[in-house]
Amino acid sequence: MDSRERSIEILDTTLRDGAQGEGISFSVRDKIAVAEALDDLGLAWIEAGNPGSNPKDLEFFEQASGLHLKHARLCAFGSTRKKGIRPEEDPQIRSLLGAGCEGIVIFGKSWDLHVTEVLRVSLEENIEMIAETVSFLKGEGRFVIYDAEHFFDGFKANRDYALGTLKAAREAGADRIVLCDTNGGCFPGEIAAAAGEVIENIAEGQAPSLQLGIHAHNDSGLAIANSIAAIQSGAGHVQGTLAGFGERCGNTSLAALIPSLELKLNCRCLPEGKLANICEVTRKVAEIANVSLSDDMPYVGAHAFAHKAGMHADGILKIRRSFEHVDPLLVGNDRHFLMSEMGGRSAIAERAKRIDPSITKDHPVTQILSEKLKSLEASGWAFEGADASFEILVRRELGRYKPLFKILAYRVMSEHPTGEALLCSHAWVKVWVEGKDEIAAAEGDGPVNALDGALRRALLHFYPELEQVRLEDYKVRVIDGKDATAAQVRVLIESTDGQRNWSTVGVSADIIDASRAALVDSIEYKLIGDIERKFKTYAPLAKLG
């Protein structure tokens, strides 16, 4: 390790603070899966929940002994002792010990307002609650992380008292002291100034990189900036959630923070080689949590390294750093050229090379594709979110496309019965495959669902691998509302086979026909990919079929 490199300890609180985000509800199985994913990434600590607050967290800790974590240590979360009793008599403190974790995170009050108006205790007793709780847990052999709740608000309101609460925790033996911007309202300059003063007055010669931590919320959109400000002031421990979700506007997004620390500030947050997994693990955690990862999330989002403007694409192809601040491979992401009339021939050629490596931006087919894109987009088509449809378009122009089936006819009907019966849709489709006709029908929750079911049912006899395919997302956009219900609509479909995801597009004044076009592209893209992986080549389909 470079002698100048700083080690930053990461605590992920997805399973505790993240679970407080709106719409987040982890099952015990989910919590175990998230813990294993975070451990695979190589994080130092996983704050797994509050065993004294709900049966689900208690059950998780009961099962956690069966986890074989390679990198991370689990910690349980709770508050200082209640007023008027000793720590050993407090059921909540006993539940923290009963969780069986090496680490325990204890939060206490740093803001005198909370002490007198929320806890309703004296300022002196609050100090005693902090000191006695930390001391008791240290006596039980636990690694104690003290979270100073509302520290920055408390520091601004009553500097000496806020610092006094930290001193109490330190003298009682806390292993980490974490400054919390609980309301998420501070600016980086405030964070830096307060953190610097804490190190000067509280660390007292101890290694600040191991002593002081930061826990920031994103209510002002500054959680990452505030975390960096604290680190640059000397903090060496950071708390956040990998994907950024959490209470209100969320927590520091570790997936966006860690790459900046490692790639730009010469810090080591993860074991060697693990940074390249951060994109995959973040998406996995978001999937388990059943939340959509923002496409424009730094480093790991789908748009983080997407280039649309022709000048940008051309610059990237000549020299990467001209329009990318880091190499996407370093975080496990991909460079992506968006196909549109703005993209330019360089971007088109780069995508076409996946099918025919001989294509250049000066190739005749590149010019044809450029003109076709402009014409299609003028008619309402958009390929920047439909890579699979664009690839099929390229194949057609290169003569490397052979339809694997044809829809000869189809019919879709929807019924609206009275009473309590549900809306029911039916679809009938006739397809041609390899010289044979096949007819199938299906019922669905809507006309598109019914058409999808009927089409796949007709094709399964010929292509059983379609059993694995399902629709992940379905979007409809009215292209120009001036024609009211006769307007053109654009349908975007995202599909998956459990291994890959791909998107297709269809445009028509008939929403069912637009959906049919996107469905056909989706199925053909899946089948073409399977054939070419089998033959391990991008050879013309006409020769493979």
Domain boundaries defined on the chain: 6-289, 306-367, 406-544
The architecture of the domain spanning 6-289 is Alpha-Beta Barrel (3.20)
Give which of 9, 473, 505, 542 is closest to 257, Cα–Cα: 9
Contact criterion met (CB below 8 Å) for 162 and 111:
yes
Kindly tell me if the per-residue pLDDT of 79 is higher than 70.
yes
Contacts of 238 (CB under 8 A, 6+ apart): 8, 9, 10, 11, 213, 214, 227, 230, 231, 252, 254, 257, 269
Q: How confident is the model at residue 287 (pLDDT cuts 50, 70, 90)?
A: confident
The DSSP line for 358-425 is T--TTSHHHHHHHHHHHHHHHTT---TT-HHHHHHHHHHHHT----S-EEEEEEEEEE--STTPPPEE
| Alpha-carbon torsion (238, 181, 85, 90), positive or negative | negative
Q: Which residues of 506-517 are buried (b: 16+ CB within 10 A; e: fewer)?
A: bbbeebbbbbbb
Mean pLDDT of the chain: 87
CA–CA distance, 43 with 36 (Å, rounded to integer): 11
Name the residue with higher pLDDT: 287 or 6. Answer: 6
Neighbours of 223 (CB within 10 A): 28
Quick one: residue 380, left, alpha or beta (phi over 0 = left, psi -120 to 50 = alpha)?
A: left
Can you read off the two tokens belonging to residue 204? 């007292």
Q: How confident is the model at residue 422 (pLDDT cuts 50, 70, 90)?
A: low
CA–CA distance, 327 with 306 (Å, rounded to integer): 12
Contact criterion met (CB below 8 Å) for 234 and 194:
no
Place of tokens 């990452």: 224
Can you read off the two tokens belonging to residue 514? 């637009």
Give the predicted TM-score (pTM) of the model.
Answer: 0.69
CA–CA distance, 490 with 518 (Å, rounded to integer): 9
Name the residue with higher pLDDT: 325 or 267. Answer: 267
Choose the weakest-confidence range: 216-225, 366-375, 461-470. Answer: 366-375
The sheet with strand 489-496 has its strands ordered as 470-478, 489-496, 501-508
Q: What is the pLDDT of residue 539?
A: 45
Contact criterion met (CB below 8 Å) for 80 and 119:
no
Can you read off the two tokens belonging to residue 115? 């002490």
Question: In Å, what is the CA distance from 448 to each residue of 13, 416, 455?
Answer: 40, 16, 10
Q: Which residues of 248-277 are buried (b: 16+ CB within 10 A; e: fewer)?
A: eebbbbbbbbbbbbbbeeebebbeeebbeb
Kindly tell me if the per-residue pLDDT of 267 is higher than 90.
yes
Q: Class of the 406-544 domain?
A: alpha beta
- Residues 109-137 have pLDDT tens digits of 999 999 999 999 999 999 999 999 999 99
Kindly tell me if the per-residue pLDDT of 338 is higher than 80.
no
Can you read off the two tokens belonging to residue 387? 């890579």
Q: What is the pLDDT of residue 397?
A: 83
Burial of 196 per CB tally in 10 Å (0-12, 13-18, 19+): middle
